[in-house]
Amino acid sequence: MLPHNPNTDTQFDEASLRTICLAGGCFWGTEAYMARIPGVARTSCGYANGQTVNPTYKEVCTGETGHAEAIMLHYDPGKIALDRLLTAFFETIDPTTLNRQGPDVGTQYRTGIHCTETQDTAAVASFVEERQAGYDEPIVTEVLPLESFYPAEEYHQRYLEKNPGGYCHVDLGKLSN
């Protein structure tokens, strides 16, 4: 059994969990928001789909590594469907803005849904295609297989829990459990 999500009273069976990687701009807010969703077992901040191995935050901030700030999210599909997770994720981003979310600008702040399981790629692409009807501008959120994910430094993990007054472009009040 995995430790439970700190915002729920649920224990999770590791064998039943699925994984997806979400890049939503600054990872602090994305992690804090998504971790509050019932059915999410755990989240961690990190760097996805870049060209270097095990980059540091300082390296990613140069924009030269190709990584996106992202979260690895483990969820129980028996408690929450993938499309509900994606709906919640879309509530936190502007999917039509390239390389920027809130005041954060740079390729590391691009939005993306990086699939860890092949069968999820088609479902995610279909979800994004359906959502396009609600936007005047094209959705630029990447839908790609997850090629690499490196955990961010410890001080980034659960940052907003450790620093409740910390910066966040995500409205954490939108989600009520």
Tokens of 168: 């966040």
26 is catalytic: yes
Tell me the C-alpha distance between 86 and 107, whole Å. 21
Hey, which residues does 19 pair with through a beta bridge? Answer: 74
Pairing of the two strands 111-115 and 104-105: unpaired
| CA–CA separation, 111 and 67 (whole Å) | 11
The one-letter amino acid at 103: P
Q: How far is it, in rounded angstroms, from Cα 32 to Cα 172?
A: 7
The residue behind tokens 């009273």 is 9
In the chain, count of helices (H) and strands (E)? 5, 8
Q: Which of 21, 26, 115, 168 is catalytic?
A: 26
109: number of Cβ within 10 Å: 23
Positions marked active-site = 26
